[in-house]
Structure 1
Amino acid sequence: MIPHTPSESPPSNLAALAEDHYFSANPPPKDLQKHMKLAKDFIEFHSKAGRRLVLVTSGGTTVPLEKQTVRFIDNFSAGTRGATSAEYFLEAGYAVLFLHRQFSLLPYSRHYSHATDCFLDFLREGPNGSVVARDEDAGKMLNVLRKYREARDKNMLLVLPFVSISDYLHELRGIAQLMKPLGPKGLLYLAAAVSDFFVPPERMSEHKIQSTDAVEAFSKKPSKPSASEEEETFDNFDSSPSVPRSKRLVVDLDPVPKFLKNLVEGWSPEGMIVSFKLETDPKILVHKAKYSLDRYQHHLVIGNLLSTRKWEVVFVSPGNPDKWIRIPQGGKLDDAKEAEKDEPLDPKSLPEQEPEAEIESLIIPAVAELHTKYIKTMEGKKLEA
């Protein structure tokens, strides 16, 4: 395998202009400088140790509709892929910088924070007013706690939050640029569900968008409302099949600039970059993954389908055949090996219950193997130079 190596040239003028415009027009999050200081110290610590470091992005990004945000557009991502992957990267010896959507799943606490049962259901009162885990949960909880404490005590895990699409892009750019000293030992694993559209600040309402014209009435002379005005036309519980256009909320969104090329060519030119492609149509999954790879010239696209994402993914990388990675249909890694299949599984063929094994336990070793080859290739090029 000969992994794709980055271009030495800076991003194109068009990409640079789009970058300058976006980041000048969209203000950074208030904690950006604080986060960059934490990231810088974390990266320098592991760079001096010669250790591999991975930036894992996780969770969805919001699209605010107002500057003082009350309403926003969101997606379904809870950050499961990112949080789970972070744990397996730590097991593989990586330092992990975990950039996540605030309140989404976190490494280790994910086992309990979004469980069907309330976290308090795993606990009981012990002797002398102490709080202890239930007997049936104590073993697993102790194992998770030990792994978490080891990661934090050894400074192997740094957790930083974001909320909006603008927050995410500011944080991503800053961290990627800080990772330059790592060279090829830096890995960017972009598992966040990033919004494709946003509302530019100049078109964004300063205050909460009003659902009625009550505010406008402040500046008008009171008058007796007409029969039609007395009706709550905009009432969410109104069963009327038609709503006047004047009462509708029409949102005009712009496409979010695609900064993956900037990331590859400018922000982190020697780091290995892994992106994800989620689709719902199996017919276009591999095509879209290859299109992304060709367009941005990075190193690996991991394609997955919404309906089977916990059972299988496909690795699409330069100069290599597509590689399907999947949990055996019995749900356990030690089940009998199934026949090779170079196309998506039929969701109807899968068991109703979720697999007992986590597919990230297969994804991360495979990514780490590719990363090892990438490092060797880059080091070989430097020796030749």
Structure 2
Amino acid sequence: MADARQAERDYFSNEPPPKDLTANVTLAREFIARHDHDRRRVVLVTSGGTTVPLEAQTVRYIDNFSAGTRGATSAEYFLRHGYAVIFLHRQFSLLPYSRHYSHNTRSFLDYMRDEDGRVVVDEQHQQDMLEVLRQYTQVKREGRLLILSFVTITEYLWDLREVAQLMRPLGPRAMFYLAAAVSDFFVPRDRMVEHKIQSNEEFAVTNESSDGTAPAAAARTEGRKLVIDLEPVPKFLKQLVDGWAPDGIIVSFKLETDPSILVKKAKYALEKYSHHLVIGNLLNTRKWEVVFVSKMEGFSEKWIRVPANRRTKSFSGVPSLVGSADLSAKEAASEPSQSLLETEHAVPKGEPAVEIESLIIPAIEAMHTKYIEQTRDRQPQASG
């Protein structure tokens, strides 16, 4: 515990805060206070990937593939279920509502035409776009969506800590839905070169002092090679439980590619970080199935799946891997009630595709309700 707090102090004392931190804190404080007054549940949804800059004046950086689909989609469903949402996302990643018409294989302009000097939405798209616009307009009118952005791992961690501490007065009505793809490694500020790393060794600049006492630059050229020496990002996730917002409910994600270790890794993360729910998902089936591992349910696993005839399209999806990580179902395969095929055929064919987040969020809301009730029951009753 003491080591974790020291790691937190060291990190935030050495890594400078983002330039927009003060503005973000001001916006978040007002947003949280307003919804606390209305006794509304507030969820912080983190979304998209974090970058790891290799230079102080950043030209090169390490990134990941996340476009923020899970976070943006989940935020919409939280809003549908009455939550106020602080959406902390990677700049230029997907946003709630506009996600339907961005990062698509078609430009959103293809949905429109010029008709006598007016912009008109094509008839075939009007109903869908109208529905999305009405949902967005209502949320905006009610002031239930606050959008904040980050780019680097350091910006993300500063924003997460400050917003989490602001949410502390919400008690059990606060939720943290940590869907961002957070970097595991980074370049500390004191080991970062100031200028662009040169590919030509004649122009390469070392970060070492003349007496060799300063640490070598974490990213540097050696001969014709680029050498990158990263350090692990301190694990602050447990600090959400222990210090930043100890009464809030915390949902985190575990993404794996190996079906044989998914559930095991999810349970390990649950024990290590003391969160309330870890959602495990495989890279190649994440749009169709997830597994809940929750300490509220005694560390048991609960699978949520979209039936085969209701799945959204996925270029990276591998249908044959659906169920491959569900070891408990394989052991109980002789029981008809556990059959995945029965669930799939229970849904009429020809029905519209189902986003798995539409199944995830109601299940989380029910868990949140149970958590609030349990927390209320544990609180001492006033005498007299």
Q: TM-score category by the smaller chain?
A: 0.7 to 0.9
The match for 1:58 among 47, 60, 77 is: 47
3-state SS of paired residue (1:29) = coil
CA deviations on 1:26-79 (whole Å, 9 max, x unpaired) are 101000000000000000000000000100000000000000100000000000
Question: Within the alignment, does 1:262 sit opposite 2:244 as a pair?
Answer: no
Q: Is the 8 A contact 1:315 1:324 kept in 2?
A: yes
Measure, in 2, the Cα distance between the counterparts of 1:332 and 1:316.
23
Measure, in 2, the Cα distance between the counterparts of 1:201 and 1:30.
16
- Using a 3 Å threshold, how does the CA distance of structure 1 residues 245 and 27 change in structure 2: closer, same or farther? closer
* TM-score, structure 2 normalization: 0.84
Measure, in 1, the Cα distance between the counterparts of 2:129 and 2:328.
35
Q: Is the 8 A contact 2:150 2:156 kept in 1?
A: yes
The match for 1:253 among 230, 233, 246 is: 230
Measure, in 1, the Cα distance between the counterparts of 2:376 and 2:45.
24
Measure, in 1, the Cα distance between the counterparts of 2:171 and 2:368.
12
In terms of Rg, which structure is larger?
A: 1
- Using a 3 Å threshold, how does the CA distance of structure 1 residues 216 and 18 change in structure 2: closer, same or farther? closer
Q: Is the 8 A contact 2:113 2:119 kept in 1?
A: yes
- The aligned residue for residue 82 of structure 1 is 71
Question: Within the alignment, does 1:377 sit opposite 2:361 as a pair?
Answer: no
- Using a 3 Å threshold, how does the CA distance of structure 1 residues 124 and 250 change in structure 2: closer, same or farther? same
CA deviations on 1:145-202 (whole Å, 9 max, x unpaired) are 1111111111010000000000000000000000011100000000000000001111
Aligned CA RMSD, in angstroms, stands at: 2.4
* TM-score, structure 1 normalization: 0.84
Question: Within the alignment, does 1:325 sit opposite 2:325 as a pair?
Answer: no
Measure, in 1, the Cα distance between the counterparts of 2:3 and 2:88.
28
Report the Cα offset of residue 384 of structure 1: 4.9
Measure, in 2, the Cα distance between the counterparts of 1:345 and 1:55.
33
Q: Is the 8 A contact 2:241 2:275 kept in 1?
A: yes
The 5 Å alignment of 1:4-19 reads 12-19=1-8
The 5 Å alignment of 1:1-385 reads 12-127=1-116, 129-215=117-203, 246-318=223-295, 319-331=298-310, 342-343=326-327, 356-384=353-381
Moved over 4 A (4+): none
CA deviations on 1:200-241 (whole Å, 9 max, x unpaired) are 111111010011135369xxxxxxxxxxxxxxxxxxxxxxxx
- Using a 3 Å threshold, how does the CA distance of structure 1 residues 44 and 117 change in structure 2: closer, same or farther? same
Identity of aligned pairs, percent? 61
3-state SS of paired residue (1:378) = helix
3-state SS of paired residue (1:120) = helix
Unaligned runs of 5+ in 2: 206-220, 313-321, 331-340, 345-351
CA deviations on 1:260-279 (whole Å, 9 max, x unpaired) are 11111100100000000000
3-state SS of paired residue (2:64) = coil
Aligned residues: 337
Counterpart amino acid of residue 173 in structure 1 = R
Counterpart amino acid of residue 307 in structure 1 = N
Report the Cα offset of residue 247 of structure 1: 1.1
Q: Is the 8 A contact 2:79 2:139 kept in 1?
A: yes
Measure, in 2, the Cα distance between the counterparts of 1:332 and 1:59.
22
Report the Cα offset of residue 331 of structure 1: 2.0
Counterpart amino acid of residue 85 in structure 1 = S
Unaligned runs of 5+ in 1: 1-11, 218-243
Q: Is the 8 A contact 2:201 2:224 kept in 1?
A: no
3-state SS of paired residue (2:228) = coil
Counterpart amino acid of residue 152 in structure 1 = K
Counterpart amino acid of residue 289 in structure 1 = A
- Using a 3 Å threshold, how does the CA distance of structure 1 residues 142 and 344 change in structure 2: closer, same or farther? farther
Q: Is the 8 A contact 1:90 1:156 kept in 2?
A: yes
Higher relative contact order (CA 8 A, sep 6+): 1
